[in-house]
């Protein structure tokens, strides 16, 4: 029956095989077999579980899923999201990723239902890279991502991180990169995510107490065992990158990069490019500030972590609003939102750069995806450089203690 089902499935759907997934030719959205199987089971149960109808159940399940996917891809959305290659080991991701941190931590209260719906919408729109970490929500964010991708695992690439240790109150107490910790952290992340493989595994911050070679060798062991596919570092400096890459290929470096944080342009981004390492830009919207939606500190929840950071402090906040005004003016001329202009600028910095704007709402996600359609000309980019040059933002991006852990 399976052979008959597969033959009829191919003829009925005119589908192609891409990366092991069934791909519908109208929506370009992959339909994993486990989703069809689950829907077919639901169809069968609705019919009373009558035997002899398995093929009909399968075909009806496919029809329903195709119709749902067609509705999920509106005409004004990208029909086939562009991709970019990170590193030289074959890691290809959507041109835009989704940062999931704020769904569980740091940016005020979360709504799990809306967060999961946002991840589902991201998948529908063609975003393949989901970014989390074991320290976000002290494990809760990985659990949320795991719940959201259940039944959709083959449609996404999971990037997570280890190395930032928090105590029971949430306070950061250590940066850890020992081989034993690397292995234990990976096993815990796999369990929370509900998967047997992490696609991209980062060291979140470099442990200055031990050689980077020691940590990366432990990470490489996870690759050899099939528990991790690709390796990355976050906020690592050029020398650390070179030493790490000599132990095992590093596919991606994740560092903050945006119109108000252009520090990587000096040494880090050139070093990554010289080694053939892809660049993941986190906080490409300046932790939401560059969207223009934050007009005063009280727009943030009382427990929002951003209130503690220098750029959101009194004085710096008002000066940085002037930068936002410039972005809004330029965006108005381009017919897009401030957020879309800021993301379009990051996307224009090179085919090896992938921004991962974070959001916990579908409406903001859809706005962010619209940035892919914004084209900035060389003249636009030159003008942006004039009004928003490196160093234009008032205040450091982290407080003094946290800045000590960067670019190491």
Active-site residue flag, 136: yes
CA proximity to 398, closest of 256, 267, 280, 266: 256
Whole-number Å distance between alpha carbons of 26 and 254: 34
CA proximity to 5, closest of 27, 22, 29, 28: 22
Say which of 41, 107, 136, 201 is annotated catalytic. Answer: 136
Active-site positions?
136
């Amino acid at each position: 029956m399976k052979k008959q089902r597969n033959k009829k499935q191919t003829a009925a759907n005119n589908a192609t095989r891409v990366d092991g997934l069934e791909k519908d030719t109208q929506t370009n959205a992959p339909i994993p077999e486990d989703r069809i199987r689950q829907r077919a089971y639901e169809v069968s149960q609705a019919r009373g579980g009558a035997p002899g109808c398995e093929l009909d159940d399968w075909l009806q399940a496919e029809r329903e899923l195709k119709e749902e996917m067609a509705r999920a891809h509106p005409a004004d959305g990208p029909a086939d999201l562009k991709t970019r290659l990170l590193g030289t080991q074959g890691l290809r991701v959507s041109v835009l990723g989704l940062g999931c941190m704020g769904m569980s931590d740091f940016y005020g209260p979360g709504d799990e239902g809306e967060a999961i719906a946002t991840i589902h919408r991201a998948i529908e729109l063609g975003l393949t890279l989901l970014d989390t970490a074991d320290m976000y929500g002290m494990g809760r964010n990985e659990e949320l991502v795991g719940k959201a991708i259940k039944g959709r695992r083959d449609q996404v690439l999971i990037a997570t991180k280890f190395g930032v240790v928090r105590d029971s109150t949430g306070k950061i107490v250590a940066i850890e990169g020992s081989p034993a910790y690397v292995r234990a952290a990976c096993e815990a992340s796999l369990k929370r995510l509900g998967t047997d493989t992490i696609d991209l595994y980062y060291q979140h911050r470099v442990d200055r107490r031990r050689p980077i070679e020691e940590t990366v060798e432990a990470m490489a062991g996870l690759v050899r065992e099939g528990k991790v596919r690709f390796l990355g570092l976050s906020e690592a400096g050029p020398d650390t990158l070179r030493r790490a890459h000599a132990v095992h290929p590093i596919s991606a470096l994740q560092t903050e990069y945006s119109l108000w944080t252009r520090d990587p342009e000096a040494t880090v981004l050139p070093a990554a490019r010289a080694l053939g390492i892809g660049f993941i830009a986190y906080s490409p919207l300046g932790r939401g500030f560059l969207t223009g939606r934050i007009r005063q500190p009280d727009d943030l929840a009382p427990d929002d972590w951003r209130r503690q950071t220098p750029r959101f402090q009194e004085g710096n906040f008002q000066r940085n609003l002037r930068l936002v005004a410039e972005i809004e003016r330029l965006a108005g001329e381009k017919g897009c939102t401030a957020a879309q202009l800021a993301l379009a600028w990051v996307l224009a910095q090179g085919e090896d750069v992938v921004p991962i704007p974070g959001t916990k709402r579908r409406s903001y996600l859809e706005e962010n995806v619209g940035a892919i359609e914004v084209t900035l000309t060389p003249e636009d980019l030159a003008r942006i450089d004039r009004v928003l040059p490196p160093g234009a933002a008032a205040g450091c991006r982290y407080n003094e203690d946290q800045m000590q852990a960067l670019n190491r």
